[in-house]
Structures are given as C-alpha cells and as structure tokens.
A and B are shown apart, each in its own frame.
Chain A
Amino acid sequence: MKEYQAIVTACKPLTANVQALTFDIGERAVVRPGQFLNISTGNEMNLLRRPIAICKAEGSEITVCFQIKGSGTASLAKAKRGDVLSVLLPLGNGFYASEREKKIALIGGGVGVFPMISCIRAYCEKKQVYSYIGFRNKDAVCMEEEIEKSTQYTIVTDDGSYGLHKNAVQAFADDFERNTPDVVFACGPTPMLKALQSFMAEKNIPCYLSLEERMGCGIGACLVCVCTLTGGEHARVCKDGPVFNAKEVLL
C-alpha cells in the first residue's frame, strides 16, 4: 500500500458511459484480484479520491474501468495522456482461492464485471474458471476479449439484446449442477449480491462478495465506509473488505 503520483497513459471510452483509464506508477504493481485503489479525479474541487476496483495490472501499468456517474467520475474521464493523478494502492483484501479450490465461479454484474476480470486474469491458467457476466443490454457489453479467457463463460443481458436473456445469478444457478464450483466470487449491484447470497445460503460452498460503499480515507482510519456483519458489529469495507464471506455480511 503506497501513494503514487501516477502518469496517465490512456483514457478511452469502453461503452457510452464506462471509461477505461490506464496509468503508470513507475514500479511493478503487486496486486491481488479484487483489490481496489483510491484515485484523485484531477479536479481540486473534488476533495475525495474515488475508490475503483483494479481491472488489470501489467508491469507498472494499471487499468481501472469506471462508470461516469457524477462530477468526480466525469472529471476523471477527461484525464489526458501525461496527466498526473494521486493514487493510493493496492487497497483492501481482494479475492483468494486456496490450493484446494480448483473450480471458481465468477458472477459479475454491471461495473462489477471489472474486478471479475482481475480474477479471470489471475486464475484462468491455473484453475477452472466459470464466468457468469451480466450487462444491462448489448450496448453495455464490454471486455469480452478478457471474459473469454475463462474456461467457460456465459454473458447475459437484462433485456436479452445480447447473450442469454436472464440475470447473472440465474445463469449461475442454472449451470450449478453441471459445473459445481469449489468457491464463488461475485461483484455487482446489491440486489444481485443478495440473490446470490440467498442462493448460496444452504450450500456448503464458500462464497465471497465484493461490496461498494462511499469512502473517506480508503485505509481504515475514518470509519466512513462500514457494513454490518451478521454478529451486529461493523466492518470497514475499505480495510476489512471489500470482499466478505457471504455468510458473514448483512446486505
């Protein structure tokens, strides 16, 4: 975990409202799948850095993909090659598959697909990776060239305009008997994670969910981004997460 003055090398649209930003941190990045970073928007009116999942780390170059949603992400999307942005990384615990877990199911929805891509890249050569990736519609589909590195993958859309007409959790559930995984990783909108949490509740297979929350410091000091665990206590999404055991977290 270190603070860098990163130099932007590319910033281009992936879809109508999702931007891919690549920058160089000047040294080899050691990043686990599912970890995130905190990046300044380049606009000094935005005092908070934006927490974004790391999609790719190649040498000293890191790529994040984010939805343009408010003033901060709109500023960040305007980053130009050569711009310098303050970045803190790598943050959070990330996903981890043990030696014994040889078959991994990945469920990603919306911008939750990007941390799933970091998992595909980390595990596709060593393990069986079954990916179930959901998008809103055909126009939102992106990074299929990364998704197809999975051992097997299913793309679904909410309106059926591309791939199967169902949601990612349904696609996973429909395939569950045939391709039963040893471990499940997921990231996406809360309703999707809730559906998965309930599907996995009675199954004796570990399931890990990556959560999103508005953050302050990004390192666990300010206690802004808490979630509630099943015991009633609070955990910090940035430091204790963002990945939590589905059986231990309340959504």
Chain B
Amino acid sequence: MADLSVNICGVPFKNPVIGASGTFGFGREFNEIYDISQIGGLSTKGLTVEPRLGNPVPRIAESKGVILNAVGLQNPGVEHFIKEDLPWLKTKDVVVIANVAGKTLEDYEKICERLNGLVDMVELNISCPNVRAGGMALGIRPENIREVTSLTKAKLTKTPLIVKLSPNVESIATNARAAEEGGADCISLVNTFTGMVVDLERRRPVLQNNTGGVSGSGIKPIALRMVYEAAHAVKIPVIGMGGISTGKDALEFMMAGARAVQVGTANFTETTAMPRIIREMNDWLDAHGVGSVNEIVNALQMN
C-alpha cells in the first residue's frame, strides 16, 4: 500500500482526492452510496451570504466527452450551512473546504469572516459572478484577483485560503501569481470553460441560461496544461482539476505540479468514481514501486 497522504497548507489529507464544488453538495447524498470518509476532502456547493434559487431549468446539457452546467449558485446560504450541514460534516473524517461566492467584494469579506476558524479551508469561487468593477468578472483581471484575495485573506486569520482560478483568461500564470501576491495560501484550477450547446431543431441553446460551464474528460488536456503553467508560476501549493475520471488522470495532474486533485463531473458518470480513483492511484504507485504519492508531484520531465 502506497502512502497517499498529503499535506496542504498544514491541513493533513489522508489522500489527495477531493470532491469538486457543485458536484458533491455537502456530502450527505453521496454518503448514502459510500462512506465519504474514504475521500481526502470535499469542496462544498458554492455558498453565498443569502440563500439563492439559481437559474431556470434546463441547467445541464451534454456534448461529446463533456457536460455543461448553469446551476447559478443555488444554495441555502452560509448560515444554513453552518447550522445544518457543518456539524454533520465534522462527524466525518474528511477535510471540509467551504467554497464561497458573492456579488460584491463586501459579500466575499463577510462570508470569509463568518467561516474563519469553522472549516478546514476556504475556496474562493471568483469565476462566475460580476462585481462592481465595471461588470468585469472578478476572476479575469489580475488586479481584481489580487484585491479580492487580499481582502478575504485579511478575514481568514485561522483558515487557509484557496483561490479557485477561471480558465477563461489571457494568462493563467499571471492570474496564479496575482492570487499568490494577494496572499492566497493555495490555488485551485481549472473552473469550467464557458460554452454553449445548441438544439438545432428548436433553434435555441439547450441551457435556459444559453451558456454554461464546460467540464468533463474532454477538457482534460487543456486543464492539465493550465495546471502545469500555474504550478510553475507560483510557490504556493496547487490543487488541480479538469476532467479527472481515473487514478492515472489524477496522477498526471500531480506529475504536472498539483499537490492534490478535485473530481467533479466523474461523480455524475459514476457515483462511486472517487473511491475507485483512490484505489487506482494506489495500484499504479504500487505497480511502479513508488512509496508515496508526494514523490509524483512535479515529477514531469518536459521534452
């Protein structure tokens, strides 16, 4: 048995496989199928200060090798999470990462202040919402990333901060550095790519929101390249994601520089995908005589 444990920003994970935000709820539903203490961690459904109803349906569409979602951050609000879900999550042996979102910088500050010290880590979702800065998405421009990171980091005196980066940007390396400069303890990437699926007969996009976030195995090569670039642009740890559905996929991301990985869409294709991915990682490491998964991190040799 290979050692799968990793440590990110002082937080110990029994293995580097984390349920990605929005695909795993708050863990309860998946726990009806398997004990979620088997996985390293989970990133919660994106939380906002107030409850949100999200977008009209259909909220999901499919294209070859990928899916698109436009849920629109439906969530019960941070207070509901703290009261109803967090106590249950604490009974599980799993790292709890609270994914947070907001409309304004004040929203982000408020929610981080509230969660400070209550969860193991906070992950900042700055990939979809618009902010006061001229309607420009908060996660696109490096100066905005730096600002929201430093403001939220100031509130998170007891909890490590992960900044989740959007791939819909000019330079992922520049944005990764902006998060680091703003004081992020860690970055995670990639969030979904913006896309569209058309229903030809109806002459309309399938998603009621018209566009949505593309995820799934089809985005893996692009995500892997971006994780590599980001990991080589910063000194802080990187959590990689984007189309991971097998143990080998996960190890490829770690080889490219990720210290842990998140799994999203694969949870839909196969409810027990994450326990299988963990087994497959172990099997590969054993078969290759690698004692610890940490030896794989950054092991990629470029041509």
Contact = CB atoms under 8 A, between A and B. Distances in A.
Interface stretch (B60-68, B103-111, B178-186, B292-300): B60-68
A49 B269 contact: yes
Interface in A27-52: 40, 44-49
B269 A40 contact: yes
B32 A47 contact: no
B271 interface: yes
A71 B258 CA distance: 35
Main secondary structure, interface of A, reads loop
Given A47-B265, A221-B23, 11 more contacts: A3-B33, A46-B62, A48-B67, A48-B269, A214-B59, A219-B29, A219-B32, A219-B271, A221-B24, A221-B28, A222-B268
B267 to A, nearest CB: 6
22 contacts: A3-B271, A40-B270, A44-B65, A48-B268, A72-B62, A86-B270, A213-B57, A214-B59, A214-B60, A216-B67, A217-B271, A218-B268, A219-B271, A220-B25, A221-B24, A221-B29, A222-B25, A223-B54, A223-B74, A225-B59, A225-B60, A226-B54
Interface in A58-94: 72, 86, 88
A203 to B, nearest CB: 29
Given A47-B66, A226-B74, A217 B268 contact: yes
A239 B64 CA distance: 27
Contacts of A48: 60, 62, 67, 268-269
Contacts of A45: 64-65
Contacts of A221: 23-25, 28-30, 267
Which of A88, A216, A218 is the most central at the interface, judged by chain B CB atoms within 10 Å of its CB? A216
Nearest to B51: A233
Contact of A223 (B45, B67, B270, B272): B45
Contacts of A217: 23, 29, 267-268, 271
Nearest to A213: B57
Interface in A198-251: 213-227, 233-234, 239
Interface string B6-37: 00000000000000001111001110110000
Interface size class of B (residues with CB under 8 A): 35 or more
A224 B61 CA distance: 10
Contacts of A178: none
A219 B33 contact: yes
Closest 9 CB pairs of A and B: A221-B25, A221-B29, A219-B29, A224-B60, A45-B64, A214-B58, A220-B29, A47-B216, A224-B59
Given A3-B272, A214-B61, A217-B271, A222 B71 contact: yes
B23 to A, nearest CB: 6
Given A221-B24, A234-B54, A47 B271 contact: no
Which of B30, B32, B57, B216 is the most central at the interface, judged by chain A CB atoms within 10 Å of its CB? B57
A217 B60 CA distance: 11
Given A88-B271, A219-B33, A234-B53, A213 B71 contact: no
A1 interface: yes
B270 A3 contact: yes
B32 A216 contact: no
Contact of A216 (B30, B65, B69): B69
B211 interface: no
B5 interface: no
Nearest to A70: B62
B174 interface: no
Contact of B268 (A47, A72, A223): A47
B57 A47 contact: no
A218 B71 CA distance: 15
A2 B271 CA distance: 9
